[in-house]
A and B are shown apart, each in its own frame.
Chain A
Amino acid sequence: MAPRSGHRKWRAAKEKGFAVVCFVSAGIGVVLLAALLFGIVRDGAGRLNWSFVQSFPSRIPSQAGIKAALVGTLWLIGLTAVFAVPIGVSAAIYLEEFAKRNRVNAFIQLNILNLAGVPSIVYALLGLAFFVRWMDLGRSVLAGALTLGLLILPVIIVTTQEALRAVPSSLREGSLALGATRWQTTVKQVLPASAPGIMTGIILSLSRAMGETAPLVTIGALVYVAFLPSGPRDEFTALPIQIFNWTSRPQPAFHQAAAAAILVLLIVLLTMNFAAIWIRNRFQRKM
């Protein structure tokens, strides 16, 4: 039976080859992330110091810093959270806890799914026409925050819904059986039980908003700002805008500044992501 056994060996060899191909494919992501981080640390690490964080942008690359961009980003994300978090969580509560299964609510749900797939540049056009022009907010932090808020709203709603869905229905039934109303049950039982999951979703969506560049460019965030915003109606710049601006310049010295600014942005984003993962793991252990 030599040919049979040869055939079996051939099949086994093909399986092994396939496993290697799959493993290499999975490894490509790791290699790419390593290359990305290597490239940015190589270009930016030398430029990253305390005066870089504390200086305003400048025509002279060696003196340029990210003070205005960092403060602008904090303003922007703070306002975005104030706007998007309550609305997103309330909408999710309505859809999970109160909504009847009818066509209107099915349409709302389908609509949210589709909004999550709309490119950010399209939200930018909505922000430009509606917030900047029609509401006459101009190129303000408020206009940027409202645009980013609409952009991350579907993400907050969907992740909050998942967190609410993970709460066992026995908890709700127990509360209702003791005479609590639907609303009391939601606020006093369901929300505390799902809080870690909701927090994870909120942190991840805010970290997405923090990296968004295209909407801010389109609604007209400034690229050269030598002042800090003092209110929501002030003009502003943000970290991704500053990175975009420095990357687009021809001088290598500005590219180094861009890489250093990317390092700051990535450190903030990674910290937020780890916080989200930490909260999620803590929660999972408790359940």
Chain B
Amino acid sequence: MDAADEGSTPLPADFRKRFSWRALNEGTLQNLCLVASLLSIATTFGIIYVLFDESVRFFRWISPREFFLGTVWTPLFEPARFGILPLLSGTFQIALGAGLFALPVGLLSAIYLSEFASARTRGILKPILEVLAGVPTVVYGYFGLLFVTPLLRRFFPDVQVFNAASGSIVVGIMILPLVSSLCEDALYAVPRALREGAYAVGSTKLEVTMKVVVPAALSGIMSAFILAISRAVGETMAVTIAAGNTPKLTLNFAESIQTMTAYIVQVSLGDTPAGSPVYRTIFAVGMSLFVITLLMNLVAQALVRRYRSVYS
């Protein structure tokens, strides 16, 4: 205080205005909010750093060539082999099965909701789909293992207890609401004028939908499909419980397989010491999963931007 009084220039007249609590608060609080939003950037860098750091150590020990091109995945027992292709094929198989069910059914139900349904039917169907979307994935795992699989085995006795089919089915059920609501958004964005023009020249609802509305909403629909498949690729608990833990290069839906996500859970359940090679495999697998889903999400976003720019 003394030092400031002696020989220093007098405070500027507008000191109170410039340094009032009000202004100080304003700036500080605003900066705190900025810091909060920067945390999301930090999260992204954290994810990338952690995945790459452990993966690089892993690749010092196993060559990327063996990892990406190897066809045998047996890291947990001798002789340990580290080819990720069986896990990729398992993941692909689940995504394929889920997509075959959820994409057409989701699109058709979106068409029903946006083109055919009365306001009252929509009011009943949409909340039901939302509830379906809110069911935790561990519950789908239970449903797959203890409801879908017994049902499948009644009709196809040689289906194994853990099998890709029930995993695909429950993941399909899981992504169905997502496909339906995203497709509906895309159909909703198509201007009414396009439909009315088509009706005016005498088209039926089927013709308007298939020849006008769906083609006009195509980029949005594709984006919905890609996002849903990316969700299926990253889905963990349902496939861990229902599809099994047998990494295998196969497309047989009656057999037990293993996805990338299920492998990470399998290792986490055991007591693998940190820093051991097996511990690092989950980061290498996680990195592959992260890159695949990120690329799919980026493509989906680019497609959404396209339809938004056309119709808004």
A183 adjacent to chain B (CB < 8 Å): yes
**Given A117-B293, A121-B264, A244–B241 Cβ distance below 8 Å?**
yes
- Using CB atoms, name the residue of chain B closest to A11: B204
Residues in B neighbouring A122, C-beta threshold 8 A: 47, 51, 234, 286, 289-290, 293
Q: Pick the most buried of B54, B146, B207: most chain A CB atoms within 10 A of its CB.
A: B146
Q: How many inter-chain contacts with C-beta < 8 Å in the A-B complex?
A: 259
B227 adjacent to A117 (CB under 8 Å): yes
A33 adjacent to B132 (CB under 8 Å): yes
How many Å from the CB of B175 to the closest CB on chain A?
Answer: 11
Residues in A neighbouring B134, C-beta threshold 8 A: 204, 207-208, 211, 269, 273
Residues in B neighbouring A213, C-beta threshold 8 A: 136-138, 236-237
A118 adjacent to chain B (CB < 8 Å): yes
Residues in B neighbouring A78, C-beta threshold 8 A: none
Residues in B neighbouring A255, C-beta threshold 8 A: 142, 146
B264 adjacent to A19 (CB under 8 Å): no
B43 adjacent to A120 (CB under 8 Å): no
B40 adjacent to A121 (CB under 8 Å): no
B261 adjacent to A119 (CB under 8 Å): yes
Q: How large is the interface on A (under 10, 10 to 19, 20 to 34, 35 or more residues)?
A: 35 or more
How many Å from the CB of B176 to the closest CB on chain A?
Answer: 6
How many Å from the CB of A136 to the closest CB on chain B?
Answer: 11
- Using CB atoms, name the residue of chain B closest to A181: B26
Report the Cα distance A279→B34, complex, angstroms: 29
Residues in A neighbouring B128, C-beta threshold 8 A: 29-30, 33
A214 adjacent to B43 (CB under 8 Å): no
- Using CB atoms, name the residue of chain A closest to B142: A247
Q: Which of A34-42, A56-64, A165-173, A227-235 is near enough to bind chain B? A: A34-42
B112 adjacent to chain A (CB < 8 Å): yes
A153 adjacent to B40 (CB under 8 Å): yes
A112 adjacent to B40 (CB under 8 Å): yes
B265 adjacent to chain A (CB < 8 Å): yes
**Given A126-B43, A126-B46, A183–B25 Cβ distance below 8 Å?**
yes
**Chain A 80-121 near chain B by CB (<8 Å), digits 1 or 0:** 000000111011111100110000000110111111011111
A253 adjacent to chain B (CB < 8 Å): no
**Given A30-B128, A39-B146, A277-B127, A94–B37 Cβ distance below 8 Å?**
yes
Residues in B neighbouring A88, C-beta threshold 8 A: 36
Report the Cα distance A2→B134, complex, angstroms: 53
Q: Pick the most buried of A39, A43, A213, A265: most chain B CB atoms within 10 A of its CB.
A: A213
Q: How large is the interface on B (under 10, 10 to 19, 20 to 34, 35 or more residues)?
A: 35 or more
B159 adjacent to chain A (CB < 8 Å): no
**Chain B 83-122 near chain A by CB (<8 Å), digits 1 or 0:** 0000000000000000000001110110111011100000
**Given A119-B234, A125-B283, A22–B127 Cβ distance below 8 Å?**
no
A33 adjacent to B131 (CB under 8 Å): yes
B147 adjacent to A39 (CB under 8 Å): yes
**Chain B 10-48 near chain A by CB (<8 Å), digits 1 or 0:** 000000000000100110011011101111110110110
A12 adjacent to chain B (CB < 8 Å): yes
B241 adjacent to A248 (CB under 8 Å): yes
Residues in B neighbouring A120, C-beta threshold 8 A: 234, 236
Report the Cα distance A273→B126, complex, angstroms: 14
How many Å from the CB of B308 to the closest CB on chain A?
Answer: 13
- Using CB atoms, name the residue of chain A closest to B230: A117
User: Which of A15, A23, A114, A211 is in CB contact (< 8 Å) with B204?
Assistant: A15
- Using CB atoms, name the residue of chain A closest to B107: A25
How many Å from the CB of B42 to the closest CB on chain A?
Answer: 9
20 A–B contacts, CB within 8 A, in A order: A14-B204, A15-B207, A23-B112, A36-B135, A90-B36, A91-B39, A114-B298, A115-B44, A119-B289, A121-B236, A122-B293, A125-B286, A150-B43, A157-B40, A183-B26, A214-B137, A214-B240, A218-B268, A266-B135, A273-B134
Closest 3 CB pairs of A and B: A119-B234, A211-B136, A94-B33
Q: Which residues of chain B have a CB within 8 Å of any CB of chain A?
A: 22, 25-26, 29-30, 32-34, 36-41, 43-44, 46-47, 50-51, 53-54, 104-106, 108-109, 111-113, 115-117, 125, 127-132, 134-139, 141-143, 145-147, 173, 176-177, 180, 204-207, 209-210, 227, 230, 233-237, 240-241, 261, 264-265, 268-269, 274, 282-283, 286, 289-290, 293-294, 297-298, 301
Further 14 A-B residue pairs, CB within 8 A, beyond A25-B109, A33-B128, A259-B142: A22-B112, A22-B115, A26-B113, A30-B128, A87-B36, A87-B39, A93-B33, A99-B37, A122-B47, A214-B261, A218-B264, A243-B139, A262-B139, A265-B136
